A and B are shown apart, each in its own frame.
Chain A
């Protein structure tokens, strides 16, 4: 099954949706080392795409290129019709439409949970403080920790911190959410609470791109799974195809190690 076939299969649910993220031949070098080798993929609006693969395969690099935390050297990346170039205005526009959740949470330790969430809406979206705070409390309610609003990040558990980080991204009302290994730094008993929030998000219809090793999550909510190795997308398919009938040997090897 070729990449195009798999894309068609995934498109059933998303038929008629517009392209949200388009990557064409994206190259990225760290010195002599090529981290991304001509990555080409399209993610539709409302799609949940899971990216997996062994460590060092370029998953994180790719997802970080999409909101310009890393600069790609070759190819094109277009997000919601805006091309990522060196033009600062484009970068700012894309960043305010793309939310990102990090492996290490990266909450601002000197601000309360509420201030973490309302900072960008107030200063980037220019919302009145009262409105921003009301939205922040609603979001905290949505991620299940309404009672932690006045605390500092350091006083929360890892799972709670990651949920605050998700709320912080959602506060910008993004059209796309990027997740860079959101559960890898968590203790096992906290992974579920974060995944539950992500599942709820996926059902709400937001476009999501998730780098993760949580195969259960991928099987349950992904529209499409992309398998990367050595800076290339090796295999693309629906969860069904990916877990039951992978075509590539490298995918089979990876699955045998991880499952």
Chain B
């Protein structure tokens, strides 16, 4: 028997070109991998049975007559943004649209997504079709409903279910979908199976765009997701007489258009003279825009123009101009020792300001403390920009830009919101979760890299500071960091000094996440061989150039898996925000919806949805990182 197989396998191999690994026919593959001996066969059967049982359990749970999916459908808006007022909802879409556009731009600039073979796509289609058919078959037959819509029970009280055949007929829509998928997949498979066509590929971008396009199109043609009821009192629950598809089809279409437009803008710049500039600009926007969208666009601060003109503006101008002048002086070539003394004095003063803040010795606006600290750091950096006018101008302009940004954001964060709310925080649900995750990941990234560089620096003072910072933070649980920043920090602040709670929490979370990122980056840094440093030195690169061009790119590449792991856990751990009183995604499902009089105690549906959405995001991130690894791995091979 096995001899015969061997011969046919050999015959099969001859059809392929020699450098291509032949794929076995399905029957032989099964025999070789799953049923090679009787023990293996039993294990395979047991595994299949367990998988089927699990699938059946999940399906029965989802489609059980006890599930109230209306609770989720009707509360979709609460799950996304909690009580954000409907009249202001355009702000949410604007914020989302900005990020979607930015993502499209970055994808266009950076991505060389490569292709995927049509055969591969056909196997996906067939796999989905088969899975769908399997779901239809294994799901328990439905409970029979009487003409009054009530469940019919038999005499002993158990539920009456329809017969298996009736159930199959009832689910004919699903059958048609499954068969269609299988048929299209099989047609593609057979059409692209000859040696030439089997290599035909379509670009991943077009697959993604077709997928997104179909999803948006479905909103227009299938008005699914009827809201269960319209609440008069809770305006955020549902719109009157609408479906989910109806109320979101327009915004999502705009999102898709934004995404594709900016994608092609990015593509346009991908091969051009301005690539460097566009890359820099998009990176800067990624750093700044989530904060701005979160606190300015979504909150719509009620600026007190009297205060702005009397205090905020003059202070910003003073720091920008006087600080700029100071830095211009510090970068003179002839400054010598005086520069170092000035910078050190400034640093001591800046740190003293923070100490004073904790003891309440003298009042000072928070903005001023932050600005003094930043100015001291810029002064310490000044020697690197010494000499040429162009370099000096770079530092001064950079300082003015940073000052403007910090003062603008600080003013906005400390101004009360005009958006009328029913809860304490202006945003909740998935919106809060995503914004917090995005801001924390984006801000902790540069900080983490700096900490890692500090920890591996040859200057003992940097090494000591970074190491103790990292070790202290890593020795403390996230919850205590969050509680510390939300409860303790405001207590320490002197009178008249305020810090929005959410801002404080974000600061704490960023500082926490940066310590972990730093350790991951350090692992990458340590994998760079001594030879790379020596080669960079030998061709005359400065230490900063060596770090930026040689060491960091390789170190970050090596640590991609750990960094992505960190991003994913940061995203998931945003659910801890619930503990300090914020209404994150999970908390809305877990405690807001079950508290509504209409859906008293309905929890499981919401939590299942939350789990699915978390999984969707994290699985996407994980898949993308695998692609990224393969792509940047090119240099290694």
Contact = CB atoms under 8 A, between A and B. Distances in A.
Interface stretch (A2-10, A148-156, A250-258): A148-156
Nearest to A108: B550
Contacts of A100: 534-535, 538
Contact of B538 (A69, A152, A154): A69
Contacts of B531: 102, 104, 106
A155 B634 CA distance: 9
Q: Name the residue in A96, A104, A106, A169 with the highest tally of chain B Cβ atoms < 10 Å from its Cβ.
A: A106
Interface string A124-135: 100000000000
Contacts of A168: 539
A154 B635 contact: yes
A123 B541 contact: yes
A217 B617 CA distance: 61
A116 to B, nearest CB: 9
A162 interface: no
B27 interface: no
Nearest to B543: A88
Contacts of A154: 635-637
B63 interface: no
Contact of B637 (A67, A104, A107, A155): A155
B539 A119 contact: yes
Q: Name which of B536, B538, B542, B634 has the most chain A CB atoms within 10 A of its CB.
A: B538
A92 interface: yes
B549 interface: yes
A182 interface: no
A92 B542 contact: yes
B537 interface: yes
B539 A102 contact: no
A108 B545 contact: no
B537 A95 contact: yes
Given A124-B539, A169-B539, A172-B540, A109 B534 contact: no
B541 A108 contact: no
Contacts of A172: 539-540
Contacts of B535: 100, 102, 106-108, 165
Nearest to A101: B538
Nearest to A125: B540
Contacts of B58: none
A108 B532 contact: yes
A2 B557 CA distance: 55
B177 interface: no
Which of A124, A153, A165 has the most B CB atoms < 10 Å from its CB?
A124
A111 B635 contact: yes
A237 interface: no
A119 B549 contact: yes
A153 B554 CA distance: 14
Given A110-B554, A110-B632, A124 B540 contact: yes
Interface residues of A, number: 29
A161 B405 CA distance: 47
A155 B529 CA distance: 19
A235 B538 CA distance: 29
B323 to A, nearest CB: 27
A117 to B, nearest CB: 10
A197 to B, nearest CB: 18
Nearest to B534: A69
Main secondary structure of the interface of B (DSSP, over half): helix
Contacts of A169: 538-539
A99 interface: yes
A95 B550 contact: no
B545 A123 contact: yes
A108 B532 CA distance: 7
Contacts of B540: 92, 95-96, 120, 124, 172
A165 B554 CA distance: 18
Most A CB contacts (10 A, CB to CB) among B532, B536, B634, B635 go to B635
Contacts of B534: 69, 100, 102, 106
B541 A153 contact: no
B401 interface: no
Contacts of A106: 529, 531-532, 534-535
A119 B536 CA distance: 10
Contacts of B529: 106
Contacts of A96: 540
Contacts of A67: 537-538
A100 to B, nearest CB: 4
Contact of A124 (B532, B541, B557): B541
Contacts of B541: 119-120, 123-124
Most buried by A among B537, B540, B632, B637: B540
Contacts of A107: 535
B553 interface: yes
A173 B550 CA distance: 21
B421 to A, nearest CB: 49
A123 to B, nearest CB: 6
Contact of B537 (A69, A99, A108, A155): A69
A98, A99, A109, A111 pick with most chain B CB within 10 angstroms = A109
Nearest to B536: A108
Q: In the A-B complex, list the 7 residue pairs whose CB atoms are closest, starting with the nearest.
A: A106-B535, A96-B540, A106-B531, A120-B539, A100-B538, A124-B540, A95-B540
